[in-house]
Structure 1
Amino acid sequence: MSETHQRGQTRRDLLRSGALAAAAAPFVGAGAADAHGKGTSPAGDLILTNGEIHTMDRRDSVVEVVAIRDGEVVYTGDRESVARKEFTDKPRTIDLRGKTAIPGVIDCHNHIVLMGNRPGHHTPLENAYSIADVQATIRARARTAPAGTFITTIGGFHFNQFKEVRLPTLAELDAAAPHHPVYISVGFVGPGVTNSLGKAFFENVPGPDGPVTVGADGSIAALTQTGRATLALRRQLTFEDRKRGTRDAMKYAVGLGVTTHLDQGAFQAVDAPSDGSAHEDNFRMHLPFLSVYGDGDGIVRLRINFLYMDADPASVALGDRLRNAFPFFGNDLVRTGGIGEFVAPVPSDPITSGSAGNQRWLDAARKVAQAGWRAEVHSLSATDFKAEIDGFALVNQEFPITDLRWVVGHVPSITEDYVDKLKALGGGINVTGFRYFTGTPTAAGPPYRMLLDNGIPLGMSSDGMQIAPMNPWVHAYYATTGINALGVAINGSQLMTRREVVEHYTSANGWFLGGVDEDRLGVLAPGRLGDVAVLNRDYFDRRAVGDADLKKINSVLTVLGGVVVHDTGVVR
């Protein structure tokens, strides 16, 4: 590794400011006045009262009062006077004014680390439903971003969600941000679009990877041209830019009520136009996050999976990771996880075919099992889950995995016979509603209802922010209605109830975190960590909140370990 990492940041600087400091610094950050500095975890004293608080415990209790002391829940019930007896000092008290609250949302499969490392002032567009909404979102961002700096949106949305079913034009982006270059691109590799200032920048990118071809309307073609545009912006990133993006990503997450993220890594970047929105430097991408935590500014819980798609058949890098790192190592704020969402290139053929690619995948999976690590793989096709689960079974014959909680993610096409096979191996499934953006009646899924009725460990996730939104309430809309972004019902036979969605974003998702986290997160009960999301609408009341309104839900108050990390001022 070179001595200088990013724009004058030396190895010593990084260790001092982040990677090692994160293990020692007390939590401060938003709501720091409530923090008692208990180790590295948020540790606030707080009473939430006069709420409709869904604890998500086994009795499905709904209470009016939750008390949090030193970061942990010490009381749930309906009597504030009893809650106060848990404290020697007077705790901060917040009147929820009848608002609905739930445990902090756990997203068991997303890419928040990629989101934090995005170039420019990344601005999620997953909550925009028209070109006018896009313009309003960019206009709001322009009020806080320094003039002349890029406003970007890279992944996490699709033009199908806009009523015009297209990207905005150069002129429309100019109207929204006349003093900022703007660049937005869809999914992994585009297409994209820019405005006049962005066009002037991209058409003058030097070197073999430039310039970028931009149409008169601002359009940028998918694949190579979008890759060149994203690469040009990525090459300008400084370490401080990445830290700013990290803080922005965390702030956006708590605004939705998402307090815990199981990050699933990235494809290794090679500094070429072939790098898409899912590529980053796997050996440096976590450093901005660790530095932000070291500064005391971390406001979400991060769990880190390590993704491996080794170019060499022997998976040397994967083997090095397994020999020189620890699974589930860290603290309540930051902890390592497992290997995923890939252990090697996905086997596309049945394992029994004996192809060279499958043997390579099996060898990598054996390494993970032999080391005793958790593994997660992803399924997007009609056949890959068969190869993966059959492969799990073969690995299990040599190195038992039934206690390791191996996972298959996404699974739009999985069949129940293979669900049964995975369940017998002690495995689980996490699902994402990525088909909300581009699914059709013949390409829908996932089979939420079948999976729920089967009883296999099941978790809700977002897979944000490349081909899916991070917003859990957009996923709730799709899971409970089966209606895609174009307004077409495509998954109507596989619906979840509203309560089931929240359960599998909270209490059920503890299973996917494993270790100590399973009994510490996802439920508001004594001894659990005090993470709470107070919602702007009564999510559980179908009469008050119609299906379309689900996409408008957010958090008005988010609490992490008794510390307020997001507050819109609605409750006091």
Structure 2
Amino acid sequence: MNDRGDTVPVIGIKGGVIVYVGKNETAALENFDRPPSIVDLKGHTAIPGLIDCHNHIVLLGNRPGYHTPLENAYSVADVQSTYRSRANDVPPGSFITTIGGFHPNQFNERRLPTLDELDQAIPDHPVFVSYSFAGPATTNSLGKAFFESLTEPPLVEADGSITSGLNNGKALLALRKQLTFEDRKRGVYDAMAYAVSVGVTTHIDQGGFPATGTPSDGAAHEDLYSMHLPWLSVYDDEAGIIRLRINFLHMDDNLEVPTVQQRLLNTFKFFGNDMLRTGGIGEFITTDYAGGPIFNEAAQRIAKAGWRLEVHSLTGTDFQTQIQAFESINANNSVQDLRWVVAHVPQITPTYLERLKKIGGGVNLSGWQYLAGTGPQAGPPFKDILASGIPAGIGADGMQIAPLNPWIHAYYATTGKNALGQQINPGQQISREELLHLYTRANQWFLGGADEQLLGSLEVGRLGDIVVLNKDYFTVSDEELKEIRSILTVIGGKIVHGDENVGI
């Protein structure tokens, strides 16, 4: 993924840094003082470690229960198989959960599994399966018994179904109340392990909504001042296996913008090391996220302090008011070099792309419409965005309403088809090469600072993050894109997933 689009058979990594990229193994060995480990990939495709410029992996690490992603299941039988496998590593009686990141649309049956089907798969573990932000959900017999034992129980139907909204929130709150700090650290390990298994080695996390500690909290709510602590503890233990960049989300609702102001006063931007570093502010800064007096006040302060800012766009008008606000702020406090970002942008137009580009901004794109989106033009307009020349990258937006798995997003971006197989983004498909560029070299723009010259491509002097794929991304069928996984993931020259002697 260098500027020339080279493909080579030999890469050498020393001290975590790439020291050789080329065609001659003998020449590579000249860079080492002692014989290095040699991994023969046996013809498998290797790519740079993927960068996800917009997701919520910190929330994923704080999930209650033994969280188990279902984004790669395509039937109720797949769900049962996934849970049976997971149960082998879970103490009897402990909850197995899936909260967000999938949708019944991806299952052949177009529905959640029932209580009886979950009982057949894992009778010895309670289960809670909920999609999107607030359900609906389903549970099995042990889960139903647990929820019905609560002082304020959610309503669980005979078939295990739990309706969305506050009813689902009651169940989720009860599970969260059981979480210990060690449980959260275990969740961090699980989230990291899953990420490297699908080849995502660097993550820009976008935070969550402030928790209220009530049933109104959904999958995207957490305590914004403690949610990072189990992650920090794992890195303190020198057990971190992904590169994490932390954005700070704020939801101020008055002109004093107190939490944003305190963040600017008391947090160092881009502080840390190449494994863990603070980032920018976003993807929300105020409750009037699309623009308004509170939004303008917070954005002005962020610009004056020289911070990167990211905002969230899902409609046909919010990006307009946001970019207009950026332009107004730029007139007094230049944001040209701050890399302000509008995220998701399913309906952004060429005119506003050009306006954002003029003030040094960029957009990140997501295939979140894959799960539940419908046509006729669900967006984002991948092709138009790339043609505009604006800095652009891709972020999964997992794991509430979208998968974390980058290969599902690759399928959506290159085919325009949703989980039902319907064409919902016609005329906006991009090539596989363009998609991989968005997930690697293009995404370094969103990292900025020292990271920009360290990640995103396999070149001498950059960090040795490599993903070896089970299938050739460039030649498999469209449907097989969703089956791509990593058989070997390397972070800074260290194997963090797979085994150099197994599978290749």
Q: Which category describes the TM-score, using the shorter chain as reference length?
A: over 0.9
Q: What SS does structure 1 have at the residue aligned with 2:86?
A: helix
Find 1:99's aligned residue among 44, 50, 75: 44
1:82 and 1:168 map into 2 onto residues whose CA distance is 56
Contact 2:377–2:425 (Cα < 8 Å) also in 1 = no
Does the CA contact (< 8 Å) of 2:253 and 2:288 recur in 1? no
Is structure 2 residue 217 aligned with structure 1 residue 275? Answer: yes
Q: In 1, distance between residues paired with 2:123 and 2:256?
A: 52
CA shift for structure 1 position 525:
0.5
Unpaired runs of 5+ in structure 2? Answer: none
Match of 2:83 in 1: 138
Q: Report what 1:480 is aligned to.
A: 414
Residue 450 of structure 2 corresponds to residue 508 of structure 1 = no
Partner of 1:566: 497
Shift of 1:235: 0.8
Contact 1:105-1:257 within 8 A present in 2 as well? yes
Please give the secondary structure, in 1, of the residue aligned with 2:394: strand
- Look up the SS of the partner of 2:412 in the other structure: helix
**What pairs up with 1:204-223 in 2 under 5 angstroms?**
204-206=149-151, 210-223=152-165
Q: Aligned residue for 1:467?
A: 401
CA distance in 2, matches of 1:443, 1:118: 33
- Contact 1:107 / 1:262 at 8 angstroms: preserved in 2? yes
Distance (whole Å) between structure 1 residues aligned to residue 278 and residue 235 of structure 2: 14
Give 1:538's aligned residue: 472
Given candidates 410, 414, 419, the residue that maps to 2:353 is 419
Identity across aligned pairs (percent)? 58
Matched-pair contact (CA < 8 Å) for 1:181–1:196: yes
Question: What are the Cα deviations for residues 507-565 of structure 1, in whole angstroms up to 9, with x where unaligned?
Answer: 11000001000110011001000000000001012xxx100000000100000000000
Matches of 2:486 and 2:288, distance apart in 1: 37
- Which amino acid letter does the alignment assign opposite residue 177 of structure 2? R
Residue 570 of structure 1 deviates from its aligned partner by 3.8
The offset of 1:413, in angstroms, is 0.6
Q: Is the 8 A contact 2:376 2:426 kept in 1?
A: no
Map 1:137-176 onto structure 2 (within 5 A): 137-176=82-121
- Is 1:228 matched with 2:191? no
Corresponding residue number in structure 1 for 2:461: 527
For these two proteins, the number of residue pairs brought into alignment is: 503
Distance 1:180 1:433 in 2: 33
Matching residue of 1:38: none
The within-5 A match list for 1:70-81 is 70-81=15-26
In the other structure, the counterpart of 1:262 is 204
Cα distance between partner residues in 2 of 1:130 and 1:166 = 9
Which of residues 554, 565, 570 is equivalent to 2:485? 554
Mapped pair 1:429 → 2:429: no
Runs of 4+ in 1 over 3 A off after TM superposition: 568-572
Alignment-mate amino acid for residue 444 of structure 1: A
CA contact (8 A) 1:103 1:532 kept: yes
Q: What's the CA shift string for 1:443-471, capped at 9, x where partnerless?
A: 51000000001110000110000000000
Picking from 50, 54, 63, the partner of 1:118 is 63
Asked if structure 1 preserves the Cα contact closer than 8 Å seen for 2:254 and 2:294, the reply is no
Q: Secondary structure at the match of 1:389?
A: helix
1:24 aligned partner? none
- Note the residue ranges of structure 1 that are not aligned, 5 or more in a row: 1-55, 352-357
Partner of 1:383: 317
Rounded to whole Å, the distance in 1 between the matches of 2:369 and 2:43 is 35
How far off is 1:313 after superposition?
3.6
Q: Which amino acid aligns with 1:310?
A: D
Q: Which residue of 1 aligns with 2:429?
A: 495
Which residue identity lines up with residue 413 of structure 1 in the other structure? Q
Q: What TM-score do you get using the length of structure 2 for normalisation?
A: 0.99
User: Deviation at 1:347?
Assistant: 4.3
Quote the Cα distance in structure 2 between the aligned partners of 1:391 and 1:452. Answer: 24
**In structure 1, C-alpha distance between the alignment counterparts of 2:312 and 2:502, rounded to whole Å:** 40
Other-structure match for 1:46: none
CA distance in 2, matches of 1:103, 1:387: 36
The root-mean-square deviation of aligned C-alpha atoms, in Å, is 0.9
**1:97–1:571 Cα contact (<8 Å) kept:** no
